[in-house]
Structure 1
Amino acid sequence: MIAGFLTERGTTSGNPGDSLHGLLRRQSTVLTVAVSTVTARTAAALASGVRQSTPGLPHEQFWYAGAAPVSLWWVRVRGNLTPRSVVFQNTVRTATGLALARLVAGSLDLSHGFWVLLTVLTLGRTTAGATWSAVRSAAAGTLIGVTTAGVLLLAAGDATAVYEYLLVPMMLVAFSVGPVGGPAWAQGLFTLVVSTAFAQIAPVTWRLAEVRLIDVLTGSAVGLACGLLAWPSGARAEMRRSVAELFRAAAPVVSATTEAATGPVGPATPRTAAAVSLRPTVHRLRIAEAAYAQYRTEPSSHTGEDGPDWLAALNYGARVLVGSYWLPPSHGAAGLPSPLLHWAHEAATRLASATHEAADLPTGGVHVRLAPLPADILPLASPAALSLLIDVEVWLYALATDLTAASGADGSAASPPLPPGEPLTSGAAADAR
């Protein structure tokens, strides 16, 4: 259906009074919605494990659909082997914390030293502030738990039957309430569980609770030290770096895709979007998406802050890639009149320049203003070339809107106003992400 629409669009109009520009914009909107629908359906099918063939989809968009699991794991591992990846940072932080905890527990010859390692695993967070909050709650809960466990061990003594009857109810409560109640409840209740369990294995005294407290405090200190020394701000700083790198990688793709779709200015050989590798942009987008996912899970005191819109930045990177996948290389567009061709390249150059400027995340953002398309020259172009040009126009205007929002600028200066009744399809095109 999309292929048939591409063949017939631009030749008929539902209303005789419609302008050619308005008609082609609405048809481009319809095409964008159709592409978004096919993309969403395919993505949902792949996510649910269905490997069905969908005719017409660009291979580059779903390159991973037919790849072997081993190659996909290698791509993921290779892509995260950088200090700028939050996955890499969390891995290094956790590994360092466990190694240090093992060293401390062995050097101090702590009894039940594995509790130190478990504490590092359960209390480690992605920011120093969140780790300190978890450590404080865990220390308070553990103190209450060891006090209660000490009283229980002193009262029950060697009566193993008491511990046998208490173990199952305590486990049920601890593993149900602990994850919901937070670190204080989890550590306190788990202390009661391990105390009743160890009391059945061998004779114990209230000193077992003391050992538990020492191990938890030692593990908390190790986890807090790692949180302070290894990327203490979490994903906040990485969010800025990853978005900046995403903008720098995406800027040349905008120019290359526009030139591929409309043809070069002058006798030069037209480039294709593949001439500029998409791999850096895809890689930077994945790094930024991981940073954003972690950023949204971290507590922050900067609620309602002005500045860059990180989600709009991700939408911008995704939209750049979608355009490079779906806007076909120029064949019939070679007959575009010179003014239209110059407009396309000037608009793409302006947008690419603004993208490089936005990579510095300037205060006040970046105002992207694209010149209006010279509509009076549109009838001089062939229908095929003109339809493709309008697709490029819609794509560039949507990118300008995303970039303005992403940089934190006022969207009112993003682009010139459109004539009445001619929609800008930024919202519909965003669904293609």
Structure 2
Amino acid sequence: MLATSLLGRLRRRDPGDAVLRRAVRLTLVASVVFYACRYGAGSQVLATYGLFGTIAAGSFAQLPGPAPQRARILVTALPAVWALIAAGTLLAWSTWAAAGGMLVIGFVVSFAGVGNPRLVGLASAFQLFYILASFPPYQPDTLPQRLGGVTLAVVLLAAAEVLLWPDPVPVTFRQLLTRAADAVGGFLDDAADALTDPRAGHGGRDSRRAQAYDLVAPLGLGRNPPERAPTAAGAQDRALRISAAALREVLAEADRLAGDAPPEPIPDLAAARLLRACADTTRAAGRSLSPGVPPVDLGSLDAAIRTAEAAYPAGRGGADAPDVPRMCRDATALALADQVRVFAVGARVAAGARPAGGAAYPRLFGYARHSPWTLYWWQFRSHLAPRSAHLHSALRLAVALSVARVAAGVLQLNHGFWVLLATLTVLRTSAADTRTALRPAVLGTIAGVVVSGLLVLLIQEPIVYAVVLPVTLLLAFGVGRLLGPVWQQALFTLLLTVVFSQLSPEGWRLAEARLVDVGLGAVIGVLAGVAMWPRGASHDLRHNAARYLTASGDAVAQTVEAVLGDAPPPEDDLDRVRRRMVLVDSSYCQYHSERHDPRRRRVDWDAALGAGQHVVPGAESLLRRNPPGCLAGWPAAAVLLRDAAGQLRSAYDDLAGEVAHGRASGPVPAPADCVDEVDRVRPLLGTVDTAAVRHLVEVDRWLAGLADSLNRIHPRAGSERRS
């Protein structure tokens, strides 16, 4: 009965059997490697490095993607593993040399994740390879055996990933983007129908709108695990981030346009024709992200945009007055088309094609012209900043591991690498998480030491430990992982006892050494976590997001001044927003892996950061069709736009203050629909040229869209349609 209950509990915690599959693969590979090296080849060095190589690569490494991709990563990483083991072996002659190497390698391995956060999954494994080799005895002549044992382990583990009970292929970010694009394309068709016949298909339109929002929501970076989120510095990941942000804006603009539909049918509306072209391009761009599908062609979309732009200024109302309601809808449709074009160009870059049509966004997609190494260097340089969460984490971990290596060497601990292993296990990116990890590490080690001590006192025959090795491996990496950290630490301690009873039997003193080493490593980890940037990524995220939002507000104001002819194009301001976005993305991803203070005012980070993501591509698209100075010499328009831009800038500053200090933000400008904007613009018309009215409407609609994005963070009463 108890066994049945425990089995049911384990199955509920591992519904897809992912943990069990991984534990079985690791157990089989580790057992084969250990038995072959220890009893077949008769080499303790081969057995030690083969077993710990399997554990490091199979348990501590968190690899992304399907089984073939994980296997390829393991094999590709072998040269780096050899270099780390060689460095540790050669530096083991001195405690201070090994500690210095630990400081450098600990920082480099951890900080390498800023260029590709998926490398973070390999960081702990890489550090373990150096840690194991950097302890006495100093035996450089055993380096070939060390490398041979690790190579055998990694190659067999890579083969097992593909051949032994492989995991189901996970859903990729590209697939999420493809599904969302298909749903948004369907809603764009509905929005086009709403413009030509507002009373047709209303019920189905609401369900498709809800489906589009449901499928776009998972595209937020924080809603994806680090191994799946496109946060690397390479061109394809950058393009995926831009495409996801653009698709969110397409959906918001389509929702706004559907809400501004005319009360009566309008046949042959240019905005409706443009929306249908946008729907086709959105679906095609989404499908192009799948393997084997050719890149999306922008020809039909560009032709539709040119047709809509040509028809745009011709809309006239009674008494030869501009038809401002139609201009509002056409301006929104063109803004939507610009975002679809950004999405399509981003999809081309993400698919590995040339950014055809990217000349319209020379800065947004300028990175596609540079080599991967240049892009990685830019990412590293951006994170060499006082407020970089990655820099803090890398320095904290490197210092803690180096101190632990010095302590283990000075105290001449026989199994000193357990000290560093405990430090690596306990230390987290925030003091709160470090304290949380401390309790199970200590309690689990104590429980494991007690059981291990009794075991070695009762059983002295090595053959018994050889027989139960596969069982303890399966318990440590399968059952322990499912039952929780205390069980995992206790069973891992038991596993170490079983292993070292076959390598170098020490009796009950082995359990005593394990307890002392883990206690020392835990203390060092806690001290480092409390002393060095204890607030983790949460504090950095708030500061970086505040600077990002402030820069976004400045860019909005400068863009308005540019179209009024009172300032140059805001290129420097937009570049500043892009640079600060890099640090925000990094802090945001790390933030989601930490515990958060429940007493601190919570922020809707997806909405808050989305308020800035509309600024850069929106400003570039706006200035392409409304060049600097297009509204110069129209004082009334200048007053209206400066007032709207000033309110937006204040709202961005208030939001920055809210996320940085937790204080309530000020009033957010109400998002205006087309009817509201007609009332605002009509008194300014007079005898001005229709083209000037068009420019005014476009700039005003862009500002209204930004106000709408801010309103999603603090929805007003009655604005549920856009919330």
Does the 8 Å CA contact 2:315/2:327 hold for their aligned counterparts? no
Separation in structure 1 between the aligned mates of residue 356 and residue 480 of structure 2, nearest angstrom: 47
Instruction: Look up the match of 1:194.
Output: 496
Match in the other structure for 1:235: 537
* Aligned match for 1:398, one of 681, 705, 715: 705
Residue 11 of structure 1, CA deviation: 3.0
Aligned residue in 2 for 1:311: 606
User: Residues 388, 123 of structure 1: CA spacing in aligned structure 2 closer, same or farther, 3 A cutoff?
Assistant: farther
Compared CA separation, residues 240 and 252, structure 1 to 2 (3 A): same
Equivalent residues, number: 405
Query: In the TM superposition, what is the alpha-carbon distance from 1:4 to its structure 2 partner?
Result: 3.2
Q: What is the identity, as a one-letter code, of the residue corresponding to 1:398?
A: G
Could you tell which deviates more after superposition, 364-373 or 205-214?
364-373
Q: What corresponds to 2:278 in structure 1?
A: none
Q: Deviations over 1:368-422 (max 9, x none)?
A: 447963323347444443333322212212323444665x6x745xxxx9xxxxx
1:282 deviation in Å? 1.4
Residues 303-342 of structure 1: matches in 2 within 5 Å? 306=601, 308-328=603-623, 329-330=626-627, 333-334=630-631, 337-342=634-639
The residue type paired with residue 342 of structure 1 is: V
The gaps in structure 2 that reach 5 residues or longer are: 1-300
- Partner of 2:594 in structure 1? 298
* Partner AA of 1:95 in structure 2: A
Q: Which has the higher helix share?
A: 2
Amino acid at match of 2:488: A
Residue of structure 1 equivalent to 2:642: 345
Alpha-carbon distance, 1:180 to partner: 4.1
Indicate the residue corresponding to 2:693 in structure 1. Answer: 386
Counterparts of 1:271 and 1:80 in 2: how far apart (Å)? 29
| In 1, Cα distance between equivalents of 2:666 and 2:711 | 6
Which of 358, 364, 373 does residue 664 from structure 2 map onto? Answer: 364
User: CA–CA distance in 2 between the matches of 1:206 and 1:22?
Assistant: 85
Q: Does 1:110 align with 2:413?
A: yes
Aligned-residue offset at 1:310: 3.2
| 1:353, distance to aligned residue in structure 2 (A) | 4.0
In structure 2, relative to structure 1, the CA distance for the partners of 1:424 and 1:374 (3 Å cut) is: farther
Quote how far apart the aligned CAs of 1:358 are: 4.3
- Counterpart selection for 1:35 from 300, 325, 338: 338
Distance change (3 Å), C-alpha of 1:381 and 1:289:
farther
Residue 376 (str. 1) matches residue 683 (str. 2): yes
**Which amino acid in the other structure matches residue 192 of structure 1?**
L
1:272 corresponds to 2:569 = yes
| In structure 2, C-alpha distance between the alignment counterparts of 1:190 and 1:308, rounded to whole Å | 39
Letter in 1 for 2:612: G
**Equivalent residues in 2 for 1:25-424 (5 A)?**
25-47=328-350, 50-56=352-358, 57-157=360-460, 159-260=461-562, 262-264=563-565, 270-274=567-571, 276-302=572-598, 306=601, 308-328=603-623, 329-330=626-627, 333-334=630-631, 337-361=634-658, 363-369=663-669, 373-378=680-685, 380-403=687-710, 411=716
Greater Cα offset, 320-329 or 95-104: 320-329
By how many angstroms is 1:19 displaced? 8.4
Displacement of 1:207 in angstroms is 1.2
Partner in structure 1 of residue 261 of structure 2: none
Change (3 A) 1:250 1:216: same
* 1:75 Cα deviation after fit: 0.8
For the residues of structure 2 that align with 1:129 and 1:400, how far apart are their CA atoms? Answer: 36
2:219: which partner in 1?
none
Q: Deviations over 1:139-163 (max 9, x none)?
A: 1111111222222222220x22212
The one-letter code matched in structure 1 to 2:457 is L
- After superposition, the Cα gap between the structure-2 partners of 1:145 and 1:3, relative to the gap in structure 1 and judged at 3 Å, is farther
The aligned amino acid for 2:549 is F
Describe the shift of the 1:391–1:185 C-alpha distance in structure 2 as closer, same or farther (beyond 3 A): farther
Counterpart amino acid of residue 300 in structure 1: H
| Offset from partner CA, 1:250-288 (integer Å, 9 cap, x none) | 23211221233x332xxx5x52122x3423211222222
Q: CA RMSD in A?
A: 3.2
**Equivalent pair of 2:569/2:628 in contact (CA under 8 Å):** no
1:365 deviates by 0.8
Q: Report if aligned partners of 1:243, 1:310 keep a CA contact under 8 Å in 2.
A: no
Cα deviation per residue 1:162-189 (whole Å; 9 max; x = unaligned)? 1222112322332234444443233222
Provide the secondary structure at the position in 1 that maps to 2:378: helix
Shift in alpha-carbon separation, 1:185–1:332, aligned structure 2, 3 A: same
Moved more, 163-172 or 104-113: 163-172
Query: Which letter maps to 2:584?
Result: A
**2:621 partner amino acid:** W
Q: Give yes or no for contact 1:51–1:65 (8 Å, CA) kept in 2.
A: no
Aligned to 1:327, the other structure's residue is in SS state helix
Name the aligned partner's letter for residue 250 of structure 1: S
Quickly say closer, same or farther: Cα 1:424–1:171, change in 2 above 3 A: closer
Residues 43, 214 of structure 1: CA spacing in aligned structure 2 closer, same or farther, 3 A cutoff?
A: farther
Cα deviation for residue 241 of structure 1 reads 1.5
Aligned 8 A contact 1:308 1:405 in 2? no
- The code of the aligned residue for 1:343 comes to L
Q: Verify the 8 A CA contact 1:336 1:381 in the aligned structure 2.
A: no
Normalised to the residue count of structure 1, the TM-score between the two structures is 0.83
Structure 1 CA distance for aligned equivalents of residues 470 and 541 of structure 2: 45
Confirm or deny: 8 A CA contact 1:257 1:273 kept in the other structure.
yes
TM-score by length of 2: 0.51
Measured in 1, the distance between the counterparts of 2:697 and 2:394 equals 47
Alpha-carbon distance in 1 for matches of 2:605, 2:546: 11
Q: Which runs of 5+ in 1 are unaligned?
A: 418-422, 428-433
Q: Distance in 2 between matches of 1:331 and 1:225?
A: 56
Q: Distance in 2 between matches of 1:222 and 1:66?
A: 46
CA 1:133 to 1:383, structure 2 compared with 1: closer, same or farther past 3 Å? same
Give the C-alpha shift of residue 78 in structure 1: 0.8
> Are the counterparts in 1 of residues 404 and 521 from structure 2 also a CA contact under 8 Å?
yes
DSSP-derived class of the 2:630 partner: helix
**What residue identity is the alignment partner of 1:273?**
P
Q: Which has the higher contact order (CA 8 A, sep 6+)?
A: 1
Read off the aligned partner of 1:21 and give its amino acid letter. Answer: V
SS of the aligned residue for 1:298 comes to coil
